[in-house]
């Protein structure tokens, strides 16, 4: 009998439909796996244990009937603690489901619990969580990436079948790369943000983290679509992404930007990504050299816009209506100060301060407004590039996973971990990370594929073709 926890969602779906496997069998294997491993990996902050009979009664006609999925701890699930891995939201239980959760339930998915993350998604390593760091299943002394580190680690360690993450500057793709799984940031507006606790509202997107490309197509097809509850949700048709899973890249023009292959990129990462580009070339794709000249300003631009929006969004966490409140205070102002001082971690405080400064009187034009203008230039770079190519291929992360604690005292170095993923968020583009190699230390390396807005189908076509002609996605960490 195959180990159910190691199988993909689409394979398990086949077994369930044939009657060879029940959802309760899958859950049983996963819970055994979590019990054995999660004390080391720490991917979960809370685990749900649905009743076996109830699990077997799920909507059998659903696209995810009986398939377990893990949810990042910043996505609201009704009456289930949702804390963004922050003390300030201790014991907060949302009174409603996020739109993506409603869609998952409607298609028969089984919610397994909440995965660990950087506090309020502020981080690239999953070390800023109030629950402590998640470990990379490939090397427990290393970070899994962030901020969706728990989701990526759970998928890589076979502690879940599917996972949802959120991506503001690379928080799905970077941990997917470092954990050797597939991670997709959809086009901004493709998936509803209703019920996602906001970090930076103009950048955030919910997306899938999965074991292979087909599972990503399956999960995106469930969660995508227009939502009247989200004013940034775009009313465009959702295609059948599984139809894009064809093993053929002949004629596809793949742009390789010179700005992404410069000093600071680890040689093993560069060799793996260039090797992957050559695989696509050998399969019939046309490789085109392109330029994205404003790339060098992306990190600076992001770290003005994202903290500015975060400082505004996090102003609501004040101890008045929900979450943590300081036990003693002289008056309301004192209560605000004590509550926020006690509730937020160091990185959250750093970003609130940065953002509030950028929005303050006398600095708004010099920082936030100028950053928005540079953001437009970055988007224009991509618009021009897509006149010459269908896809852009880059590294996902400049290095493989680094050691836990290695960059915690060097915020700038940590921020540069997202140098290759940030531009897609600033431009609102879809982007996927897929496994494309390993370092000499047997650590996964990811390749990033970007496309025009709402052209996830072409990403799936290229990613699936590459995956079906390589073996990287089949390798598992030896836990």
What region, left, alpha or beta, does residue 370 occupy, with left being phi > 0 and alpha being psi -120 to 50 degrees? alpha
Position 412 scores a pLDDT of: 83
Strand bridging mode 182-185 / 431-438: antiparallel
Task: Locate the domains of the chain by residue range.
Answer: 4-248+430-474
Spatial neighbors of 2 by CB under 8 A, at least 6 apart, are none
Question: pLDDT at position 1, please?
Answer: 55
CA-CA distance, 164 to 469, in Å (whole number)?
26
Residues 6+ apart with CB under 8 A from 54: none
Q: How far apart are CA 419 and CA 436, in angstroms?
A: 19
Q: Please say if 72 is a catalytic residue.
A: yes
How many C-beta atoms lie closer than 10 Å to residue 15's C-beta?
17
454: which 2 tokens? 């709402």
CB 9 within 8 A of CB 162: yes
The strand pairing partners of 395, in sequence order, are 447
Q: Residue 282: CA atoms inside 13 Å, Cβ hemisphere, count?
A: 9
Question: Cβ atoms within 10 A of the Cβ of 333, count?
Answer: 9
And the tokens for 265?
A: 């990129």
Distance of alpha carbon 417 from alpha carbon 115, whole angstroms: 21
Q: Where are the alpha helices (DSSP H) in 107-226?
A: 149-156, 173-179, 213-223
> Could you tell me if 359 and 308 are in contact, meaning their C-beta atoms sit under 8 angstroms apart?
yes
Annotated catalytic residue, options 72, 114, 211, 338: 72
Give the orientation angle of helix 9-18 with respect to helix 213-223, to 10 degrees: 80
* Bond from prior residue into 258 cis (ω within 30 degrees of 0): no
**Given the residues 125, 129, 147, 272, the one annotated as active site:** 147
Domain 4-248+430-474: assigned CATH number:
3.90.1300.10
Residue ranges, the chain, pLDDT below 50: none
Q: Judge contact between 368 and 358, C-beta under 8 A.
A: yes
Residue tagged 């619990």 (tokens):
113
Q: Is residue 147 annotated as part of the catalytic site, yes or no?
A: yes
Instruction: Please answer whether residues 108 and 116 qualify as being in contact, where contact means their C-beta atoms are separated by less than 8 angstroms.
Output: no
Centroid of chain to Cα 275: 25
- Count other C-beta atoms under 10 Å from residue 237's C-beta: 8
Using alpha carbons, select from 443, 449, 448, 447 the residue that is nearest to residue 475. Answer: 443
Run of H or E including 10: helix 9-18
**Of residues 115, 124, 171, 311, which has the active-site annotation?**
171
**Interstrand relation of 162-167 and 68-72 (parallel, antiparallel or unpaired):** parallel
Q: 321 vs 92, 95, 229, CA distance in Å?
A: 10, 13, 22
Q: What is the pLDDT of residue 454?
A: 98
- The Cα–Cα gap between 361 and 364 comes to 6
**Catalytic: 281?**
no
Interatomic CA distance for residues 161 and 23, integer angstroms: 12
Nearest one of 427, 431, 413 to 292, comparing CA atoms: 427
């Amino acid at each position: 009998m195959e180990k159910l926890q190691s199988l993909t969602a689409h394979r398990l779906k086949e077994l369930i439909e044939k009657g060879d496997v029940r959802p309760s069998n899958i859950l049983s294997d996963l819970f055994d796996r979590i019990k054995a491993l999660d004390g080391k990996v720490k991917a979960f902050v809370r685990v749900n244990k649905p009743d076996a009979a109830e699990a077997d009664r799920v909507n059998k006609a659903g696209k995810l009937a009986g398939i377990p999925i893990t949810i990042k701890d910043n996505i609201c699930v009704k009456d289930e603690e949702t804390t963004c891995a922050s003390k300030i939201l201790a014991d907060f239980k949302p009174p409603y489901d996020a739109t993506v959760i409603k869609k998952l339930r409607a298609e028969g998915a089984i919610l397994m619990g909440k995965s660990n993350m950087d506090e309020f998604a502020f981080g690239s390593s999953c070390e800023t969580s109030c629950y402590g760091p998640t470990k990379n299943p490939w090397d427990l002394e290393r970070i899994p990436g962030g901020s969706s580190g728990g989701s990526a680690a759970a998928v890589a360690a076979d502690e879940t079948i599917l996972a949802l993450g959120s991506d503001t500057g690379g928080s799905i793709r970077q941990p997917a790369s470092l954990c050797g799984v597939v991670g997709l940031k959809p086009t901004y507006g493709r998936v509803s943000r209703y019920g996602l606790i906001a970090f930076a509202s103009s950048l955030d997107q919910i997306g899938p983290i999965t074991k292979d490309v087909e599972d990503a197509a399956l999960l995106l097809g469930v969660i995508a679509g227009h939502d009247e509850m989200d004013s940034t949700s775009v009313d465009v048709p959702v295609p059948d992404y599984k139809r894009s899973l064809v093993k053929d890249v002949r004629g596809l023009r793949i742009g390789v930007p010179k700005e992404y292959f410069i000093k600071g990129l680890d040689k093993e990462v560069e060799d793996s990504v260039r090797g992957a580009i050559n695989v696509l070339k050998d399969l019939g794709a046309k490789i085109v050299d392109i330029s994205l000249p404003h790339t060098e300003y992306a990190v600076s631009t992001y770290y003005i816009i994202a903290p500015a929006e975060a400082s505004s969004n996090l102003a609501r966490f004040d101890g008045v209506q929900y979450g943590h409140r300081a036990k003693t205070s002289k008056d309301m102002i004192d209560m605000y100060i004590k509550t926020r001082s006690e509730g937020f971690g160091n990185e959250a405080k750093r970003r609130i301060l940065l953002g509030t400064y950028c929005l303050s009187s006398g600095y708004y034009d010099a920082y936030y407004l100028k950053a928005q203008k540079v953001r437009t230039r970055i988007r224009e770079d991509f618009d021009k590039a897509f006149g010459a190519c269908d896809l852009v291929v880059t590294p996902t992360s400049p290095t493989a996973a680094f050691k836990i604690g290695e960059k915690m005292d060097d915020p700038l170095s940590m921020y540069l971990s997202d140098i290759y993923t940030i531009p897609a968020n600033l431009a609102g583009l879809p982007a996927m990370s897929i496994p494309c190699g390993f370092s000499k230390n047997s650590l996964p390396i990811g390749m990033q594929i970007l496309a025009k807005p709402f052209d996830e189908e072409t990403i799936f076509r290229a990613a699936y073709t590459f995956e079906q002609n390589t073996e990287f996605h089949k390798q598992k960490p030896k836990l």
